[in-house]
Every structure is written in C-alpha cells, then in structure tokens.
Structure 1
Amino acid sequence: MMGPSHAACGAAAWVALTADYRLHLEGISIPIGWGLLDVGDAGVLTGALVTAGAALLPDLDHPGGTVARSLPPLSTWLSRVVCRIAGGHRRGTHSLLGMAAFTGLAAAAQELGVPVEGFGRVWPLAAVMSVLLIALAVQSLAFLPARVAKFNWVAGIGLGAVVGLHPPAHEWWFPAAVGTGVVVHVLGDLVTTRGVHLLYPLRAPLPLPRSVYRNRSFVAVPLLGNAGSVAELALLAPVTLFALTGLWGALALVTGLAVA
C-alpha cells in the first residue's frame, strides 16, 4: 500500500474500534464503530490522528519511502538505521516481532514523562511522540501543495499539541493507537503482491497454502495487486469516507451539534 492509504486505513480502524454512535440520514440509522475502547468522543478524533501516523511507522525500513522523506535529514538517517536493523524493507518492521516491538515501545512511552516548560506539568513521552506521529500523518496525506508542504508540518504540530493537552480518556490509549496503526499497515501490505515477512527473522513457514508464499518467507494474499493499484484506490474511497464520517460524528458530539 501507499503511504496515504496506510494513514487513511489507520484512522478508519481507530474510528471503528472507538466510536459508538449512529449517523442519521433521511430516516436511516447507520451505526458508526463498535465502541470496543472507551476513549471519549474527543478521543475518537485525537486518537484517529495518532493512529493515522502510527500506520506509517513500519515503512521506516524504506529509506526511499514517504516516511524517510518526511523530515530530512533526521528521518532519512533514522530510516537507514531501522532498515539495517530490520533486515530490509517489509521484513522486521512488517513482522509479528515488529508489531510487538512498536506496541511495546509505545507502552513504555506512555509511562515515561517529559517536563514541559511553560505548562507547569510533565507530559507523558507518548504525548510528545503524538506530535510527531500526527505531523507525519498530515505530511503523508499532503493536505497542501508541494511548494508549501512545510506548512503540513505546522498543521501537524498544532494538532499534536492539542492531543498533548487533551489526550484520549483511556489510560492505555497510546499503545492501543500505535498497535492498531502498525497492525493495519502490515495487513495492508499483506494483501498486495509483494507481501510481508510475517515471521521475521524466522524462515519457518506458517501452516498456510504454499500459494500464499513469495520468495519462501514472504506471505502475500494479493487481493489488491501491486501497491498503488486501481484496486487499492477503489478501496481507499470507502475507507476514507467511513473515517471522515466517523470523525465528523465525533466532532459533532464534542461541539454539541446534532449528528445528522
């Protein structure tokens, strides 16, 4: 999958897990979300932004990808380091081990605090990291033209600061958001032609049909074909619509507007 598709799918997944209301359109009541994680209405909004950014994290293993180009030279250097540790693209960071590592790091960040001057408080490291994840999501979705793309970071940092001051209500919201985003990313790449090395660094096969394996270790169920295919774009439209609908519903509840 391409970067914007990963980000949109991450936001949609968070809405599905946390939203718990119905959208009323011309007499039709449409359920939005399963409400499995109670983060509050504001948490649906802010968590979706973080999850969209987290859904891009596994591509830190790709020095030529969207994430590596997002904040040069720091992001480029970090991507090269991660690529070497992960054994290349779609290996370590796209595996079960990688999903556990990202979620574990997020859980640790939830527990560590960072003093913030001027606010008279200590922010969890998760809140500071949220700023970067949201900025990454905004940059990937490219809300502004390339010639003023730096303003995407301004918007992302502003939104991230809001999350830092008003995080979702659930105590473990950050590892839940990061874990959700990373899992969604891996699943998205799993259904493309190249697939992912799901058991990295092991080469032992899963009890799956041989037809789903690529190059012995990569597992692929290529429902979407190549990354950036017409099928991916066709999937992206309803996923984005669902995410935007859910976010609009959450915004309406937060601001006291009617959800309609």
Structure 2
Amino acid sequence: MMGHTHALTGAAAWLGLAPALAVLPLLNESSRFIETGIMAGALSPAEILAGALVCAGAAMLPDLDHPSATIAQTFGPMTWLLSKAVSWLSGGHRGATHSLVFAVAMGFGAHWLAGSQPIGRDVMVVLLIGLALRAIGIGIPGNKLGSAMVNVGLTAGLFVVFRSLGVGYAWLGVAVALGCLIHVVGDCMTERGCPVLWPMAYKFMLPWKIGIKTGKKFEQKILAPALSVAILGLLYWRLAY
C-alpha cells in the first residue's frame, strides 16, 4: 500500500478501537498514568484526536526499510540515511519491520518513553504528527519548501494545543503498536504479503492472487476515499457523543 493509505488506515483503526483500548491495563500502573491515561477508563476528545494522528504516523514506521518511501523522504537526509540503515539491518523492504516483532518492539519502546523520558516522548509525538500530516498530503502542491513549512507550523501548533489541553500519553505505546500492526495487516492484503512471524520467512497474503495492487486504481480511487469518509464518520461519532 501507499503511504497515505497506511496513514488513513492507522487513523481509522485508532478511532474505531480507542474506546476498547482505553480500558486495557497498563504495564506500568503509576498514579500519574492512572489519572491521565488509559487507566482512567476513557480518553478525552483531545486524546482521541492526538491518538489518531500518532497512530497514523506510526502506521508509516514499518516502511523505514524502504529508502524511497514517504517516511524516508519526510525529514530529508536524516530519515533517508536512517532508512538505508534500517533496510540493511532488516533484510530489505518488507523484512523484519513488517512483522509482529517490530510492532511489539515499537510499542514497548514508545511506552517506555511515555513513562520515563518526557523529552523523548515529546520528540516522538512531534515526529509522528509531522509524519502523519506529510503522509495524508498536507502541504502546497509542487512546492516542497512551502509544504515543509506548512508541515512544521501545523505540527508545532497541534502539539502546543495538545499540551495546553493536558493530553496524557499513557496510550502512546498502544497507539504506536497499533499503527505498526495495521500497516502490516494492510500490506498482507497486497500482492506481495508480509513476513508477519519474522524471523520465519513465510509471507502472509491474500490467496488466489486477489491482493490489492499497490498504487493502482482500486487503492487510489476506491480504498483511500472510503477510508477518508470512514474517518470523518468515526470522528463525528467519537466527538459528538
């Protein structure tokens, strides 16, 4: 799947599952988390919105193994070099990063940042928000510099708003893991599949060659618009009731 489709599926998954995820027990049940995060039993509207953006950005993380992917191009040479290194370490595109192991590892890593490294947590949140905005096409068509400035401005503005609204990030690990997992599920629906149980080499994919063709008409003209409509509906449902 293409980057914007992955981001849309990440946002839709979070909006659809957030109420159920909100009652999950945390691995670290500190009083701060109990008061501000998942253990409160419900997420605030601001946390639902923040989670949708974070999950959309996290749904791009498995493609760090692809130097030509959206995520590798988002922050210039820094992410491109990181992508080259990840591609080499993971065995190329759709290797280790497209697996349950990667999703769980990223989730636990984000959870650790949320619990003990506030600066690292904030950096991760900002990067994921920026990545989500880039993936869904926020910017100025044909103007890379202008698009980058719009992205930076919107990302900073959203982060400041979330801070001012007292958003807690006890849910960060869950959102990141879910985003990575939904990416893997999406790519399992394409013609190439994914090694979900890496390091086992077997690739899971739809049978009978009915997998989605990446970047073709169905994804561009049907799937992406359908996901956009679903996200708008879920936003209304979660925030209006």
Give the aligned partner of residue 89 of structure 1. 93
Closer, same or farther in 2 for the Cα pair 1:187/1:168, shift >3 Å? farther
For residue 142 of structure 2, the aligned residue among 127, 142, 146 is: 146
Q: Residue 92 of structure 1 aligns to a residue in which SS?
A: coil
Structure-2 change in CA distance of 1:140 and 1:167 (3 Å): farther
1:159 CA displacement = 1.6
**Per-residue CA distance 1:191-248 (angstroms, 9 max, x = gap):** 0001112222223xxxxxxxxxxxxx32211644211122223122222111122224
Cα deviation digits, residues 73-111 of structure 1 (max 9, x gap): 111111111111111111100012111211121112112
Residue matched to 1:227: 214
**SS of corresponding position for 1:67:** helix
Q: Pick one of 65, 74, 77 that aligns with 1:73.
A: 77
Give per-residue Cα distances to partners, 1:145-170, cap 9 Å, x unaligned: 2312112232123223333454645x
* Structure with the bigger percentage of strand: 1
After TM superposition, give the deviation of residue 139 of structure 1 in Å.
1.0
Superposed, which structure 2 residues align to 1:127-146 within 5 Å? Answer: 127-144=122-139, 145-146=141-142
Alignment of 1:43-192 (within 5 A): 43-113=47-117, 123=118, 125-144=120-139, 145-147=141-143, 148-150=146-148, 151-166=150-165, 168-169=167-168, 172-192=170-190
SS of equivalent to 2:179: helix
Give the 3-state SS of the residue equivalent to 1:196 in structure 2. coil
**Residue aligned with 1:93, SS:** coil
TM-score (norm 1): 0.76
Look up the match of 1:15.
Answer: 15
Q: CA deviation at 1:7?
A: 0.4
Q: Which segment drifts farther, 228-237 or 192-201?
A: 228-237
Structure 1 position 17, deviation (Å): 1.0
Aligned to 2:196: 198
Q: 1:153 to 1:81 in 2, by over 3 A?
A: same
String of CA shifts for 1:169-193, please: whole Å, max 9, x gaps: 5x63100110111111000000000
1:146 to 1:80, Cα distance in 2 relative to 1, 3 A: same
* 2-structure distance, mates of 1:193, 1:245: 29
Structure 1 equivalent of residue 229 of structure 2: 241
Q: Which runs of 5+ in 2 are unaligned?
A: 23-41
Identity %: 36
Are the aligned partners of 1:135 and 1:152 in contact in 2 as well (CA < 8 Å)?
Answer: yes
Change (3 A) 1:78 1:224: same
Amino acid at match of 1:202: M
The TM-score normalised by the length of structure 2 is 0.81
CA contact (8 A) 2:2 2:214 kept: yes
Alignment RMSD (CA, Å): 2.0
Q: For this pair of structures, how many residues does the alignment match?
A: 215
Higher gyration radius (CA): 1
CA contact (8 A) 1:14 1:48 kept: yes
Cα distance in 1 for residues equivalent to 2:184 and 2:102: 10
Q: Distance in 1 between matches of 2:91 and 2:205?
A: 18
In the alignment, the residues of structure 2 paired with residue 197 and residue 163 of structure 1 have an alpha-carbon distance, to the nearest angstrom, of 36
Match of 1:29 in 2: none
